[in-house]
Amino acid sequence: MSFLRGTTHLLRGMRSAAALALAVGALAAPLRAQAPAGADAAGGGATGVQLIGMRTWPSPGGTRVVLSFNTAVTPVAPDSGVGPQLVVAVPTPGIAAAAGVPASLVVGDSAVTRVEALIDANGARFWIKLAPLVHFKVFTLPAEEDAPFRVVVDVTNPGAQAAEERRLAGIAAAKKKSRTRLVVIDAGHGGEDRGARGPGPVYEKHVTLAIARRLADTLNNVPGIKAILTRDGDFFIPLRERYHIAEKVKADLFVSIHCNSSRRRGRGSGTEVYFLSLKGATDQSDQDLADDENAADKAGGVSPQAEDDVVSVVYEVRRNSMLERSQLLAETLLDHIAADRRVEARGIKQAGFAVLKSVEFPSALVETAFINNPREVKLLKDPLFQLKMARQLATGIRAYFTRAGVTLGADDGAGRSSGSR
Ligand SMILES: [Zn+2]
């Protein structure tokens, strides 16, 4: 982000602990004298610039702090670093907090202890008290159709990240020992990346997690199959990281759950199942859909990544074999979804979805139904429909293993009652 490059030097003076402590001390004093940040909100300040949100998104490896504004602002902060605390200043005189925005957040997780907002005549300052030994990164996200301008602080805890890696390695080791088939269920979107929106509003990221959890629970009751989730909470994961999680646990199958939207696709309804295309999409509207889904990284603040440029013959053979199996998986899943007449089966399609690009296992992406279709959004919100969709997908996954000649290993039953993680 160019503005950060421009402002970083302003902060260099603040990097010493003494300077930071001074800044924090100066911040802390008026806070006690002031009402909560939200109290002086109504109408905004003289400039009309408002802090409209302050919240955190915890994930296994850290926490994302998001400060939302009604217009673009220029934060002054180090772009990255380590240390016990961090001050993000927004030196806009007259800035005010909107009603309901908290003056402080008590977080207390592995990455962030608390966040304090302080607004005075000179602007806003955010004091972010960090857990020991964490790293932080500060950047901004521009306003989008559905999201305001945001200042984002990603705080990662290397110890928590290492623990997560150990957890994934443990799943892979247990799988090898018990010879169960491991299915990774990926709930699309999450955190800052809300996905498509339906009336209400209903956000895709919540529906996908609800269906993914039910699918994992259903599969965990099938002897010989274990399911895990790429995310079991409301946080952002880059697309590539989603299949990397599946690679780390040595998954046998990867299914990504999404909701369709007719924003760019006319008046849509029904279910589609996709597998990866290497050479363009089934048609232009499928390409548009893949572009929308691939924009998830941008929504969450990850710059687009270069395509892998692997050309070995072994790789190509493996990739083609995975594509064939992915097609079989997609067809089998759709066959079983089609049994529910409430949602029309629109068919099997191909497009260049970034999340489907692993060559380690077959993968498919299910666009369960249209979230902006008034009839289908009611279904998507309905726990009974979510459960039915999950059961159909689970049946489809079992049928895929049968069709593909994959035997389900003997399960000692230990993993069955342990839920999805
Ligand atoms: Zn999606």
Q: What is the per-residue DSSP string for 88-129?
A: EEE--TT-EEPTT--SEEE--SSSEEEEEEEEETTEEEEEEE
Tokens representing residue 415 in the block:
């993993």
Q: DSSP characters for 338-405?
A: TT-TTS-EEEEEEE--GGG--SSS-EEEEEEEETTSHHHHHHHH-HHHHHHHHHHHHHHHHHHHHHTT
pLDDT of residue 169: 97
- The residue written with tokens 């696709």 in the block is 265
How many A from CA of 142 to the centre of ligand 1?
Answer: 20
7 belongs to a structural domain: yes
**Residue 43 shares a structural domain with residue 177:** no
Cα dihedral 126, 129, 134, 139, rounded to 10, equals -10
**Residue 301 shares a structural domain with residue 264:** yes
Q: How many domains does the chain have?
A: 2
- If you average pLDDT over every residue of the chain, what do you get? 84
421 belongs to a structural domain: no
How many A from CA of 196 to the centre of ligand 1?
Answer: 6
How many A from CA of 204 to the centre of ligand 1?
Answer: 7
Residue 158 confidence (pLDDT) above 70: yes
**Residue 7 shares a structural domain with residue 135:** yes
How many A from CA of 258 to the centre of ligand 1?
Answer: 4
How many A from CA of 188 to the centre of ligand 1?
Answer: 5
Strands 363-370 and 271-276: antiparallel
Top pLDDT among 265 and 237 is at 237
Dist. CA 285–CA 280, nearest whole Å: 11
Please name which of 329, 337, 332 lies closest in space to residue 390, comparing C-alpha atoms.
337
Tokens representing residue 335 in the block:
């066959």
How many A from CA of 44 to the centre of ligand 1?
Answer: 35
How many A from CA of 354 to the centre of ligand 1?
Answer: 12
How many A from CA of 212 to the centre of ligand 1?
Answer: 13
Tokens representing residue 321 in the block:
């074999």
How many A from CA of 286 to the centre of ligand 1?
Answer: 13
360 belongs to a structural domain: yes
User: Residue 51 is part of which domain span?
Assistant: 2-156
Q: Among the three residues 102, 132, 156, which one is the final residue of a domain in this structure?
A: 156
How many A from CA of 189 to the centre of ligand 1?
Answer: 6
Q: Among the three residues 129, 156, 183, which one is the final residue of a domain in this structure?
A: 156
How many A from CA of 290 to the centre of ligand 1?
Answer: 9
197 belongs to a structural domain: yes
**Residue 242 shares a structural domain with residue 315:** yes
**Residue 227 shares a structural domain with residue 294:** yes
**Residue 140 shares a structural domain with residue 224:** no
Contact 309, 315 (CB under 8 A): no
Please name which of 229, 196, 330, 215 lies closest in space to residue 276, comparing C-alpha atoms.
330
Dist. CA 249–CA 379, nearest whole Å: 33
Residue 114 confidence (pLDDT) above 50: yes
Residue 253 confidence (pLDDT) above 90: yes
Q: Among the three residues 156, 171, 205, which one is the final residue of a domain in this structure?
A: 156
Q: What is the mean pLDDT of residues 386-414?
A: 86
**Residue 310 shares a structural domain with residue 291:** yes
Residue 339 confidence (pLDDT) above 90: no
Residue length of the chain:
421
How many A from CA of 211 to the centre of ligand 1?
Answer: 13
117 belongs to a structural domain: yes
Question: pLDDT by residue (tens digit) across 292-328?
Answer: 888 888 888 886 555 555 557 777 888 888 999 999 9
Q: Which amino acid is at 41?
A: A
For residue 375, with 0-12 CB atoms within 10 Å meaning exposed, 13-18 middle and 19 or more buried, which class applies? exposed
For residue 12, with 0-12 CB atoms within 10 Å meaning exposed, 13-18 middle and 19 or more buried, which class applies? exposed
The enclosing domain of 272 has a CATH number of 3.40.630.40
Q: What is the mean pLDDT of residues 253-263?
A: 92
pTM: 0.83
Top pLDDT among 218 and 357 is at 218
Which element (helix H / strand E) includes 62? Answer: strand 62-69
How many A from CA of 94 to the centre of ligand 1?
Answer: 39
Tell me the residue ranges of DSSP E strands in 245-375: 253-260, 271-276, 345-351, 363-370
Please name which of 115, 84, 87, 228 lies closest in space to residue 169, comparing C-alpha atoms.
228
414 belongs to a structural domain: no
Q: DSSP characters for 139-203?
A: EEE--BTTB-EEEEEEEE-HHHHHHHHHHHHHHHHHHHHHT-EEEEEEE--BTTB---EETTTEE
How many A from CA of 415 to the centre of ligand 1?
Answer: 30
How many A from CA of 159 to the centre of ligand 1?
Answer: 31
Please name which of 13, 6, 135, 3 lies closest in space to residue 73, comparing C-alpha atoms.
3
416 belongs to a structural domain: no
How many A from CA of 265 to the centre of ligand 1?
Answer: 14
Please name which of 239, 228, 152 lies closest in space to residue 188, comparing C-alpha atoms.
239
Q: What is the mean pLDDT of residues 182-191?
A: 97
**Residue 13 shares a structural domain with residue 63:** yes
Q: Which residues contact 299 (CB under 8 A, 6 or more apart)?
A: 141, 144, 147, 189, 192, 193, 194
How many A from CA of 365 to the centre of ligand 1?
Answer: 9
Strand partners, 124: 90, 119
pLDDT of residue 202: 95
Q: Which amino acid is at 140?
A: T
pLDDT of residue 228: 97
Tokens representing residue 314 in the block:
């072994």
Question: pLDDT by residue (tens digit) across 78-96?
Answer: 999 999 999 999 999 999 9
**Residue 207 shares a structural domain with residue 149:** no
How many A from CA of 259 to the centre of ligand 1?
Answer: 6
80 belongs to a structural domain: yes
Helix axes 204-219, 383-403, angle to 10 degrees: 50
Among 169-178, 324-333, 337-346, 354-363, the range scoring the smallest mean pLDDT is 337-346
**Residue 107 shares a structural domain with residue 184:** no
How many A from CA of 25 to the centre of ligand 1?
Answer: 44
How many A from CA of 377 to the centre of ligand 1?
Answer: 14
Dist. CA 10–CA 89, nearest whole Å: 11
Residue percentage of the chain with pLDDT more than 70 = 82
Dist. CA 231–CA 242, nearest whole Å: 9
**Residue 117 shares a structural domain with residue 209:** no
Residue 10 confidence (pLDDT) above 80: no
**Residue 287 shares a structural domain with residue 388:** yes
